[in-house]
Structure 1
C-alpha cells in the first residue's frame, strides 16, 4: 500500500513539472506575466495527491475549491493583460491529475501527457482552426462529432434477425466511419497538392464506393486520353481502399473474423497500393483541377445510401443462405458484388458473427465478393475511361485479387 502511495506521489510530481514547464516557457511571451509557472503547477499536483492519500473526499473537495479560488483570484488580477483562461484551467486540471495519480498512476500520467501535449500544440491548433480548416469543414467536424458521441450510443446494440443478423449499432458506426473517411479524403486532397491529393481522394472515396470512384476518375481521364495516369492512379487507390474497407467492416460487425481476413486483405491492399504508387510516379506533374476550399467534405446522403444497401443485401444473402444453403449463399454474394463489394462483405461478416457460417466459408465469400466486384469495376473503367485507363485499373485489380487468393491458399484459410 505504501509503495502505491509513493508511486502516486511521484507521478503527481512529474505531472506537475511536465505541465508547469510549458506554462513557465509561456510566462514572458506576449508582454505579460502568467500567474503560475513550474513551481505552482508542481505544488498543485502534489496538493491533489496528498489530499487523496488522506482517504477523505471532503479534504479532496476542499483542496479543489481552494485551487479554484486561487485560479479565480489570479484571473481577476491578470485578465486585463490576458483575458484567456488557459493557465487557470490548466492549474485546476493539474490538481485533479494529482488526485487521479494516487488512485491510478498510469491513468494520471496519461492525462498529464495529454494536457501537456495540448498546451504545447497551441500554435498548431490555432493555425489548424483558423487557416487550414474552412468554415464548412469545421461545421462538418461538429456534425460528425454529434453523430459519433450522441446518435451512435442511442442506437440499440444487438443483432436483428429481420436485418440479416446485422447489429444496428455496428451499422451506425459504419456510417460514422464512412463520413470520417470522406472528410479525411477531402482534407488530404486540399493539403497534399494536386497529384498526391488526387490519389488520396481516390483512396478515401473508395471507402464509399470504389466502383463510383473508378467511373468518376475514368470520366476525367477521357479529357486527357494521352495522359490518363493521374486519374488511373486515383482509381487504383480506390481499389486498395476496398480491401481495407472489407477488414474494417468485418472488425465492426464480427471482430472474431479479423485474424482470418487480415493477411488476405492486407495482401490485396498492398498490391493495389503498389500499383497506385507506380502510376503516380508515371503520372508526372501535369496540371490538374484544384479542389475548392468550400467544397462539401461530408456527404451524409451517400453514407446513408451505403448503410441502406448494406442492410438490404444482408437480408437477401441471409435469406438465400437459409433457403438454398451454400449454393444460394455464393450466388447471392456474387450477384450483390457486381454492384458493390461492401454490402456482401458486411452480410457475410454478420452471418459469421451469428454462427451461421464457418471460417473457411467466410474467407471464400469475401474473396468471391471482391473478385466479382473487381470484374465489374474493370468493365466500368473501360466504359468510363477508355482502353488505356481500363488497362491500368484492370491490371491492378487482377494483381491484387490474385495475390489475395494466393495468400489465402498458402495460409490454408479456404479449407
Structure 2
C-alpha cells in the first residue's frame, strides 16, 4: 500500500515538474519549476485526505489555491510589467485537479491530461500563428462543420424509412459528417501549406479535399500552356492516388472488420499508382507549382448534395441487389463512381458491416467504382485540358485501369491480410 502511495506521489511530482518546466521556460511570473510540483502534490495529498474525510477537502483546496493566486495577482498588478493573462492560473487549477484525480480516478487519464497541458502551453506561438492565419471564410467553414456534425446530426432519427428499408437519416448524415470532415482536414492543411506546396504536396492536398475538383482546376490551367502539362498531369495523378487511400480510410471507419479482405486488393492498386507516380516525378524536371484556391468543403449545400447522392446510391444498390442480383451492383458502382466514389464506398461498406454483402464482393464493387472514376476524370482532362496533358493522364490512368482489371480477375477469393484483423 505504501509503495502505491509513493508511486502516485512520484507521478504527481513528475507531472508538476513537466508543466512547471514549461512555465519557467516561458518566464511566467506567477508559477514555475518549483510552484507547479507543489500545486500538483497539494492536489494529490488532498485526494488522499478526501478518501477519509470527504470531497469537501478538494473543494477547500481549490478555493484556497484560487485565493492564493488572486492575492499574488493583486500584488503583481502594482508592477509596471503586469500581464493580465490567465493561462498560468488556469493551468495551476487544472494541475491541482489532476493531482487529486491521480488518487481518485485513473492514473493513465491523469497522466494524459497533465502531458496535454504541458504540450498546449508549449505550443502557444504555433497555435497563435494558426489562429492568425484563419480568415473569415475559414471560421465560417469551422462553424458550418459544427452545425453539420453537432447540431444537425444529433436530432436526426436513427431508424430506417422508405423502399427496401435502407434509408436511415442518422446514418446518412453520419456519412456526410465523415466526408465533410475529411475534406475539411485537407482544406486546413491547404491553408497552412497551400501557397508553399509543391507538386507532390499539391496532389496530396487535392486528393484529400477533392480529386475531381483538383483534376478540373489543373486541367483548365493547361489550356494554351504546354509548359505546365507535366506538372498538371502529376498533380492530377497524385490526387487520384490519394483518393484511393482515402477510400481505404473510409472502409476502415465504417466497416473495420472487413479490412483484412477489402484493403489488400485496393492497396495493391494504390501501390501501382505510387510506383507510377514516383517514376513520373523523377522525370518531371525541377519546376514547381502552386495549388489553385480551394473552396470551403463544409458548406451546407455541399453536404446536402452529398447526402442526397449517398441516399440515392443506397436505394439504387438495394434495388439492383433485389431485382438484378449481384451483377446489378456492378452497374450501380460504375454509374455512381463516375461522379463520386465516396458514396458507393460508404454504401458498400455499410452493407458489408451489417452482413448484407460479403467483403469479397464488396471490395470489387469499390474498385470498379474507383476505376470508373478514373475514366471519368480522364475524360474531364480531355475536355478541359490540352492534348499534351490528356495524353500523359490517359497513359497513366490506362496503366492503372489495366492493373485494376487484372486485380479484379486474378485476386484470390479467400485472401486475407491477417495483421489488419488483429
Which TM-score bucket, shorter chain as reference?
Answer: 0.7 to 0.9
- In the alignment, which residue of structure 1 is the partner of 2:30? 35
CA drift at 1:280: 4.4
Give the conservation status (yes or no) of the 8 Å contact 2:258–2:359.
yes
What is the alpha-carbon distance in structure 2 between the residues aligned to residue 47 and residue 213 of structure 1? 56
State how 1:344-363 maps to structure 2 within 5 Å.
344-363=344-363
How many equivalent pairs are there? 404
What is the alpha-carbon distance in structure 1 between the residues aligned to residue 270 and residue 252 of structure 2? 16
CA drift at 1:101: 1.9
Q: Which moved more, 1:313-322 or 1:186-195?
A: 186-195
Q: Which moved more, 1:120-129 or 1:147-156?
A: 147-156
- In the alignment, which residue of structure 1 is the partner of 2:141? 140
- In the alignment, which residue of structure 2 is the partner of 1:30? none
CA drift at 1:36: 1.4
State how 1:291-310 maps to structure 2 within 5 Å.
296-300=295-299, 301-310=301-310
CA drift at 1:226: 4.5
- In the alignment, which residue of structure 2 is the partner of 1:50? 45
What is the alpha-carbon distance in structure 2 between the residues aligned to residue 63 and residue 406 of structure 1? 69
What is the alpha-carbon distance in structure 2 between the residues aligned to residue 26 and residue 289 of structure 1? 37
Q: Which moved more, 1:372-381 or 1:18-27?
A: 372-381
CA drift at 1:20: 0.6
- In the alignment, which residue of structure 1 is the partner of 2:116? 114
- In the alignment, which residue of structure 2 is the partner of 1:96? 97
1:173 aligns with one of 157, 170, 177:
177
State how 1:1-12 maps to structure 2 within 5 Å.
2-12=2-12
- In the alignment, which residue of structure 2 is the partner of 1:67? 65
Q: Secondary structure at the match of 1:338?
A: helix
What is the alpha-carbon distance in structure 1 between the residues aligned to residue 178 and residue 359 of structure 2? 22
Give the conservation status (yes or no) of the 8 Å contact 1:170–1:253.
no
State how 1:3-402 maps to structure 2 within 5 Å.
3-27=3-27, 34-54=29-49, 55=51, 56-79=54-77, 81-102=82-103, 103-130=105-132, 132-145=133-146, 147-157=148-158, 162-164=165-167, 167-184=171-188, 186-187=190-191, 190-196=194-200, 198-206=202-210, 210-286=211-287, 296-300=295-299, 301-402=301-402
CA RMSD of aligned residues (A): 3.0
Q: Aligned pair in 2 of structure 1 residues 193, 266: CA closer, same or farther (>3 Å)?
A: same
**Runs of 5+ unmatched residues, structure 2:** 417-422
Give the conservation status (yes or no) of the 8 Å contact 2:208–2:243.
no
Q: Aligned pair in 2 of structure 1 residues 104, 404: CA closer, same or farther (>3 Å)?
A: farther
Give the conservation status (yes or no) of the 8 Å contact 1:240–1:273.
yes
Q: Which moved more, 1:4-13 or 1:143-152?
A: 143-152
Give the conservation status (yes or no) of the 8 Å contact 1:71–1:91.
no
Give the conservation status (yes or no) of the 8 Å contact 1:227–1:283.
no
- In the alignment, which residue of structure 1 is the partner of 2:420? none
Cα-to-partner distance string for 1:192-237 (whole Å, 9 max, x where unaligned): 335455334432233xxx3443233212122312440121122112
Q: TM-score, normalised by structure 1?
A: 0.85
CA drift at 1:326: 1.2
Cα-to-partner distance string for 1:283-325 (whole Å, 9 max, x where unaligned): 4455756756xx7444513343223211111111111112222
Give the conservation status (yes or no) of the 8 Å contact 1:26–1:34.
no
Cα-to-partner distance string for 1:133-181 (whole Å, 9 max, x where unaligned): 3343244334434544444444445666644568235324224324424
What is the alpha-carbon distance in structure 2 between the residues aligned to residue 99 and residue 156 of structure 1? 40
Q: TM-score, normalised by structure 2?
A: 0.84
